[in-house]
Structure 1
Amino acid sequence: MSIKTQSNNVNGVSLYEVFDESWTCSKPLVILIHGFSGQKDEMLPWGTMFAESGYYTLLIDAYGHGERNTTGDLPTPLEAVLKTTDEINGLIEYYTKNKIIDSKRIGLAGGSMGGWITLNYITRRDRKVKAAASMLATPYWTEILGNPVAISLLQEKKPTYTNEIIDAELKLAEQIQPARSFGSLRDFPLLNINGGADVFVPTESLKQLIEYARSLYQDKSLIKMSIHPDTSHVFTSEMIQEVIQWFDLHL
């Protein structure tokens, strides 16, 4: 096994490609997205785990993050989520021209803000992925933007995130949050991983939404919520391994 990591920039999106140079047959593609104020470099251990499991992996910088942060100030959470969501299909179209990638086996996963992006993308009619996994996130964006503990953390990372801007984002989130479209998933393979000790992301309403969505699935096993009881708002190798196992089943 010879895992290689190389940089690329596709349609203005800075990213790492992580893959095994010895591969001779087509492999599934997985796109991984970090959280707010993060960057692709933080996901390198994830990328290695995925590549070692047989996935051609893209670690991308979300809009306004990492190499794409040219001003020193982060975008607002919703701005980063919406603009990154719009970029995913362009990345897929670019990489599925590569003969080593199986265009019918594409997965999307993200954590925290990356989970917002994942959940937002899969409720779109033009999604091009076969399965997805969200970690430490909820499709109820208003529960984050209305949470004083979460807002305090966001303002630490983005001091220009004023209460006025937050109020405007909260109003927009009420209109467009993916929880409103969860009923459209119907047999789309989705894994939701959350921490039982996460003070930033409530899980009770998400549990209820998952049960509602599951009631619309013919194959109930295709939508799953996994709670890691003692885990706070942090990523763990156990979460990543669970996502890999999910994609092993559904890609």
Structure 2
Amino acid sequence: MIVIEKVFVNEIPLLHIMKKKYYDQKLPFILFIHGFTKAKEDNLYIAYNLAEKGFRVVLPDCLYHGERDEGYRNMDLDIRFWDIVLKTIDEIQMIKDYFKEKGLVNNNHIGLVGASMGGIVTLGALRKYPWINAAVSLMGMPYYQKFTQYKIDKVKKSGYQLPIKEEEIAHLIRRLEQWDLSEAPETLNNRPLMFWHSKQDEIVPYNYSYQFFETIKPLYDRTPENLVYISDENSGHKVSKLAMTKTVDWFATHLQQT
């Protein structure tokens, strides 16, 4: 039997999912970060399947999302995108520590997965936290600075007047450098990492994640089984059922305790 429990870690609402018989046991631990404008409940399907494999899974609501919604919509939410990403990276530590202090986390079996914005968070968190043992990026990319400029250029081409000044943009780009994994790929340290991305993605460019994958392949020469890129031909900006299955298989292979 799978248990779904609602928990608050400080102000962060989250869903805590595991097999009932393992409720108070130390288990491999996986955090799943949702996408932009989504909520924790949107990933229950994959969390359930991970729990069936014996993982403890936690789904938090990111800042301004789900139960933390403050009414921001459209461009008002868009301009807070990186605040949400960076806040979520910080909160990952807090959430992990909460469950660790309760004796529920196997320290050598900690995973992180995210979709879209959550995939972007995942790649930044890999630079910050060496304690992440395996990860999956679904439609994410690591080029924080380049992606910021891409989004700004896209808004300008639409004719929309940006609500922030050029110097604020420059400050943001400098601020993002410290979590831009493309600037420090060696921090991956051969940790298992799977990418899934659709070639038809119109929101997060496919070529960004694939370019990064090609760049880091030499770092995995001795452990090629720890780095995988799965291209999808048709899904667009939507995680396919196959991607979910591959995610479960990835953690079952690289994170399952023996």
Q: TM-score, normalised by structure 2?
A: 0.83
Deviation (angstroms), 1:247? 0.7
Give the % identical residues. 25
Q: Does 1:247 align with 2:251?
A: yes
Change beyond 3 A, Cα 1:233–1:163: farther
- Relative distance call for 1:87 and 1:241 in structure 2 (3 A) is same
1:76–1:161 CA contact under 8 A, matched in 2 = no
For the residues of structure 1 that align with 2:139 and 2:171, how far apart are their CA atoms? Answer: 20
Matches within 5 A, 1:1-251: 2-23=1-22, 26-72=26-72, 74=77, 76-124=80-128, 126-147=129-150, 162=163, 164=165, 167-168=169-170, 171-172=173-174, 175-176=177-178, 177-217=180-220, 218-251=222-255
Of residues 200-209 and 167-176 in structure 1, the stretch that sits farther from structure 2 once superposed is 167-176
TM-fit CA distance, 1:143: 4.5
- Name the CA distance, whole Å, in 2 between partners of 1:186 and 1:102: 20
Please say if residues 29 and 55 of structure 1, whose CA atoms lie closer than 8 Å, have aligned partners that are also in contact: yes
For residues 198-221 of structure 1, the C-alpha deviation after alignment (integer angstroms, 9 at most, x for no partner) is: 122223343332222121222122
For the 8 Å contact 2:201–2:236, the answer to whether it is kept is yes
> Which stretches in structure 1 are left out of the alignment for 5+ residues?
none
Deviations 1:79-106 (A, max 9, x none): 0010110111121111123445423211
Q: Which moved more, 1:168-177 or 1:220-229?
A: 168-177
More helix by share: 2
- CA, structure 1 residues 144+3, in 2 after alignment: closer, same or farther (shift >3 Å)? same
Q: CA RMSD in A?
A: 2.7
Consecutive unaligned residues of structure 2, counting only runs of 5 or more, are none
Aligned residue pairs, count? 244
Maintained 8 Å contact 1:108/1:132: yes
Does the CA contact (< 8 Å) of 1:92 and 1:128 recur in 2?
no
Give deviations 1:22-73, integer Å, cap 9, x for gaps.
Answer: 2375421110000111111212222212112221110111122211223545
Structure 1 length as normaliser, TM-score?
0.85
